[in-house]
A = this chain, B = another copy of it.
Amino acid sequence: MTTEEKILLAAKKSFFEKGYDGAKMQDIANDAGINKAMLHYYFRSKELLYEKVNMSFAKVIIPQINSLVDTELNIFQTIENFVEIYLEFLQKNPDLPSYFIGEMNRNHDMFFKVLSENATQPNFVAFAQKIYSAIEQKEIRPVNPIQLILNIISLCIFPYLAAPMLQYATQSDDTFIGEIIANRKKEITSFILHSLTNQNDVLYEN
């Protein structure tokens, strides 16, 4: 592994754990097993190092998300596929959501600068259109496509954000939380499809 790779790996670890403000160059250097001066030799400043780290996954994630809506599948298979791939990705990167949300809300400008320069826009148009036509053909009940997509993503991501609170609230150990997350794929898919295929009016009050 080259020095540059060692730095990027250590930097990602620090930024993910502590955020931009909390991460310290000295810690990154120690963790990479090299000297602090080397960080500046390779990346010039903390800010540029931060941008490089964010670039490294911005380029990977957005295209992955955009490719999730395979046009050959019907609406039900599309949703199941989306949830499955999304959750698989999250299980491999469980600390990504809280980093993403945290940095997006705190270091707004720096974060979106990298995103707009290095990644294609997330594109949900194909997904929304598939939802539209499924409604037209009465395969699912009428819903606002954007709200539905938001629902699906909420259900997938939120447990990873709330894991520490979930553990605190249920006063349980890691295994219990792990179990909840492991059952999440089935739960979410079932939850969504039950909702979409119920054409009845279910609002009990206004």
In the bound complex, how far is the Cα of B158 from the Cα of A95, in angstroms?
16
Identical chains bound together, number: 2
Q: Which of A146-189 contact B (CB under 8 A)?
A: 146-147, 150-151, 153-155, 157-159, 161-162, 164-166, 168-171, 180, 183-184, 187-189
Nearest to A204 among chain B residues (CB) is B76
For the complex, would chain A's binding face be called helix, strand, loop or mixed by DSSP majority?
Answer: helix
Interface string of A109-135 (1 = CB under 8 A from B): 000100100000110100000000000
Q: Does A137 lie at the interface of the complex (its beta carbon under 8 Å from any beta carbon of B)?
A: no
Given contacts A102-B102, A194-B198, contact A168 B21 (CB under 8 A): no
Q: Are A192 and B195 in contact (CB under 8 A)?
A: yes
Q: Are B108 and A98 in contact (CB under 8 A)?
A: no
Q: Which residues of B contact A72 (CB under 8 A)?
A: none
Q: Which residues of B contact A166 (CB under 8 A)?
A: 150
Q: Does A141 lie at the interface of the complex (its beta carbon under 8 Å from any beta carbon of B)?
A: yes
Q: Are B155 and A151 in contact (CB under 8 A)?
A: yes
Among B17, B121, B144, B164, which residue has its beta carbon within 8 angstroms of that of A183?
A: B144
Q: Which residues of B contact A144 (CB under 8 A)?
A: 183, 187
Q: Does A42 lie at the interface of the complex (its beta carbon under 8 Å from any beta carbon of B)?
A: no
Q: Which of A77-110 contact B (CB under 8 A)?
A: 77, 80, 95, 98, 100-102, 104-108
Taking A147-B184, A190-B203 as given, write out 11 further A-B residue pairs in contact, using a Cβ cutoff of 8 Å, ordered by the A residue number: A19-B21, A19-B106, A101-B101, A102-B102, A102-B105, A105-B161, A150-B159, A150-B162, A151-B155, A158-B158, A195-B195
